[in-house]
Structure 1
Amino acid sequence: MSRFHWTEAEAARSARWHSENESRPPRRVVVADDRMKADHAYRLACEGTALLWRGDYHGARQLLSALARRVDRKGAGAAAAGPGTGEGPSPAEVFHAQRRARRHRARVLGMLLVLLEGDHTLALRRAPDVRQACAEAYGPPPGEPVGVALTELLGVLGAHQWRTKGVEVPALGARVHPHYGVFSPVRGEYVDLVARAPLPAAVRSGGPGTRTAFDLGTGTGVLAAVLARRGVARVVATDISPRALACARATMDRLGLADRVDVRDTALYPEGRAGLVVCNPPWIPARPSSTLEQGVYDPGGRMFHAFLDGLSAHLEPGGEGWLILSDLAEHLGLRTRRELLDAVAGAGLRVVDRSDVRPRHPRAVDPDPDDPLRVARAAEVTSLWRLAPVGPAPAGSAPVG
C-alpha cells in the first residue's frame, strides 16, 4: 500500500495514495490554498512538487484551469510540429508528439491533490458530496484518508453522472449505464453495425451448440445485449476487468437478459465454439498511458491479433467472426490496410464482407481547426469485417479489401 507524506502545521503527516493511472506517490508535497498564485503553483508542479489543496473547492478547480492554460500555452505547436523533416511531420509523428504533450499535461495537472476522508468525504469548503461517486469507482470506504489527484476525482464525478443518466442506445431502445473505467458506447455507429449485419446461419438455426455467440471484451455488455435482442439464443460475454464484468451484469439485469447472456471473467475466448464471435478491440495500436485508456489503445494490436489467431478454433462450421474496427490507425500511419489484410490471411481467415459507416461524433463531423489530427479524424471510417475460415468461397463472392 503506497503512502505519501507532507508537513502541515509543523506536524509530519501521511495518507494512503491512490492513482488510477498507477503513478507513484509524489516525493515532495506542499500544502496549498486560495492564497497560492497560479504561476508559483505551475512552477512547483513542473518541478515535480505536488500541491495538497486545503482551500475552497471551487478555488481548486480554478487553479486547475489556470494550470491547464499554462501547460497548453507552453506546449502550443509542439504536438503539431513533431520531430519531422523539412517536409513536415508525418501523421504518425504528429500523433506521437500529441501523446507526449498529453502525458506531460496529465503529469503537471496531476500534481494538484485533494484528500478524501475515511468515508470518502471531501472536506473542503463548498465541496460537493462525492461519497456515492467514490464508492462506485473505488469500492467501500477505506476507513482512513486517501490522497488522489483532483483531475482523477473530477473524472470519478463525471463517470457518476454518466452512470446515473446512462447513454441512449437506439439499437436497444434503452439506455446503458457505464461504470467508472468502462468504455462508454457513446460512439453508436459501431453498435449500429452489429445491429444491422446479417446473422450467420449458425446462430439462426441448428442445434443448441451452434446458436451461441461470443462477445469478446464485452465492456458495458452493449453488443452482447444487441445480439440477444436480435434473437441469438445464448451469448457468452467475456472480459477481465472487474468493473466491466460488474457493469455488463448490471446491464443484463436491467434489460432482462441475464438468462440469455452469460458474463464470464475470461481473458478473451471462453471454452468451446460459437456460431458467431464478435470482437470490438481497442482501435489504436499504441501504449495506453493509464488503465482508463485500455479501451482505446492496445500495444502492438495484441487483442486484435489474439482475436484473429484464435477465431478458427472457436467457430462452429458455417460460423463467422465479426471484427469491428476503425481505420483511424491507418490514417495516422500506425497500421496499413495491407497489414490488416495480411493478419487476417495469416490467421487462416478470409473476408466474407465488410460494412462501413462514418463516425458521428463531433471531432469527426466538425473537427476542431486546432486539432493536429483533424484530417485523420475527418477521414475515419468504422467497419464491421465479416470473417470466416479459409475454405471454398460461396459462388459469386469476391475478395473484400
Structure 2
Amino acid sequence: MSEHSVISWNEAGEERSARWQSENRSAAPKRVQIADDRMTADSAFRLASEGTALLWRGDYQNARQLLQALARRTERKPRKAATSPLDAFNLHRQAQSQRARTLGMLLIEVAADYTIALRRAPDIRLACNEAYGASRGPFVVSLREILGLIGAHEWRKNGVEIPALQARIHPYYGVFSPVRGEYLNLIAEAPLPATSLAFDIGTGTGVIAALLAHRGVAKVIATDQDARALACARENMTRLDMRDRVDVIEADLFPPGKAALIVCNPPWLPARPNSSIEHAIYDPDSRMLRGFLNGLAAHLEPKGEGWLILSDLAEHLGLRSREALLQMIADAGLKVIKHMDTQPSHAKATDESDPLHHARSAEITSLWRLAAR
C-alpha cells in the first residue's frame, strides 16, 4: 500500500495540496507543473526527465497519448553496452527504473468518489475500489498507476485460462498473474507422492493449490502473507467450488504440521523488487527460497516430497550458480529425487531485441522433487 504523504502545487496563483497515492511507494514529486493539451511531447519529456511532475488538466485520452509518446522517447535513449550477463541485467534494471520514474511524472487528480474530472475520462470507480478499498478522500496519482488499475480490473473480471486446470483463475491487482503456463504443466505431470494432504507455500492467486485439488489431493493448505493474495486465492477457490478442499491461511511460509507434499514457487531472481507486484519476481538474497528449503524437512511426512518450482534464469544472468542452489539444498538436509525440466514459451524467450535475450533464450524451468535425507 502507498505511504501517507502529500503533494503540493500552485494553480492559478493558489497553493493547493492533496494526498499522494503510489502503490510502488514512490515519493511525492517536489516540483509540480500544471499541463494540458497544449503541451508538446518533447517539452513533457524534458520536464519529466528532469524530475518535474505534470498534473494534467486537459483531455484524458490526450493524456494517454502523451504517456505513449513519453514511453517512445524513453526507448530512444541509447543503451550502454553490457560486458557480461550480470552487467546486462543491472543495466536493464537501471533503465527500467529510470523509465518508470519518467513515465510516473504524468499525474491526474482523482476525487473522493473515485471519479476523474477530465473530458473523456473513464469510470474507474470499480477498479479503484478493487485495488484501494474504501476511499480515504481525494488524491493525486500517476496516470500510469491508473492504467494499471484498469488493466488489473479487466484481468480480474475476465480471468486467465489455465489449460492444466481446465478453468480460469482471476488475479487481483497487485497479485502476480499465472501467465507462465510451463511450470503449471510440470505440476500437472509430476507423480504425486500421496493424495492426502499438501501445502502450497506462497499461494498468490491460488492456482497451484487449485491444480493440486484438481489432481485429486484431498486437502490443500495454501499460505501467503499478502492480504490481497489471500483474498484473491479465497475468491478463486470459491469460483472453482474448492473451498471444502482448499484452506487459504495467513502464514510466513509453512502452516503448522506436516504434509506428504509441499509445493513452492518462490520468486526466481535474487534481487530487490521496486514495486509490490515485483515481489513475485524478485527475492532479495533468496530469502523465500532459503526459508522454504531450510524449513522443508521438518514439515514433510515420512516419504513425503517437496516440489520446488524454479527457473534457471538467475544462473544465466550470473545472479546465482547451480552449485549454490545445490549447496542450499544439501545444507537444508535435503536430497534431489529428480528434476523435471521444460522450456518457457513466452514471447520474451524469442525476442532478440530484448536486452536479456541471451539469458532468456537459454532459460529452463524446473520442478525439483526433494526429500529429507
TM-score range, shorter chain: over 0.9
Q: CA deviation at 1:368?
A: 2.2
Aligned partners of 1:95, 1:221: CA distance in 2, in Å?
Answer: 30
- How is 1:235-250 mapped onto 2 (pairs within 5 angstroms)? 235-250=220-235
- Give the structure 1 partner of residue 312 of structure 2: 327
- Give the structure 2 partner of residue 344 of structure 1: 329
- Give the structure 1 partner of residue 344 of structure 2: 359
1:185 has 2:178 as partner: yes
> Among the aligned pairs, what percent are the same residue?
62
Pick one of 112, 130, 139 that aligns with 1:136.
Answer: 130
- Give the structure 2 partner of residue 7 of structure 1: 10
Pick one of 192, 204, 209 that aligns with 1:224.
Answer: 209
Q: Give the partner amino acid of 1:128.
A: P
- Give the structure 2 partner of residue 155 of structure 1: 148
1:48 has 2:51 as partner: yes
Pick one of 183, 196, 204 that aligns with 2:189.
Answer: 196
Q: CA deviation at 1:141?
A: 2.3
Pick one of 352, 370, 373 that aligns with 1:387.
Answer: 370
Q: 1:180 is paired with a residue of what secondary structure?
A: coil
Runs (4+) of structure 1 exceeding 6 A deviation are none
Length-normalised TM-score, structure 2: 0.97
User: What number of residue pairs does the alignment pair up?
Assistant: 370
Matched-pair contact (CA < 8 Å) for 1:20–1:292 = no
Matched-pair contact (CA < 8 Å) for 1:326–1:382 = yes
Q: Deviations over 1:216-274 (max 9, x none)?
A: 00000000011111111111100011110000000100001001111011111111111
- Give the structure 1 partner of residue 84 of structure 2: 90
Range with bigger deviation, 318-327 or 30-39:
30-39
1:377 has 2:370 as partner: no
Q: Deviations over 1:164-200 (max 9, x none)?
A: 1110011111000000011111111111111111011
Uncovered stretches (5+) of structure 2, i.e. residues with no partner: none
Length-normalised TM-score, structure 1: 0.91
Aligned partners of 2:351, 2:214: CA distance in 1, in Å?
Answer: 37
Q: 1:107 is paired with a residue of what secondary structure?
A: helix
Aligned partners of 2:286, 2:29: CA distance in 1, in Å?
Answer: 32
Q: Give the partner amino acid of 1:99.
A: R
Matched-pair contact (CA < 8 Å) for 1:312–1:389 = yes
Aligned partners of 2:39, 2:102: CA distance in 1, in Å?
Answer: 16
Uncovered stretches (5+) of structure 1, i.e. residues with no partner: 83-88, 205-210, 391-401
Q: CA deviation at 1:18?
A: 1.0
Q: Give the partner amino acid of 1:102.
A: Q
- CA-based RMSD of the aligned residues comes to 1.0
Q: Deviations over 1:327-361 (max 9, x none)?
A: 11111111111111111001110000111111111
Aligned partners of 2:367, 2:91: CA distance in 1, in Å?
Answer: 30
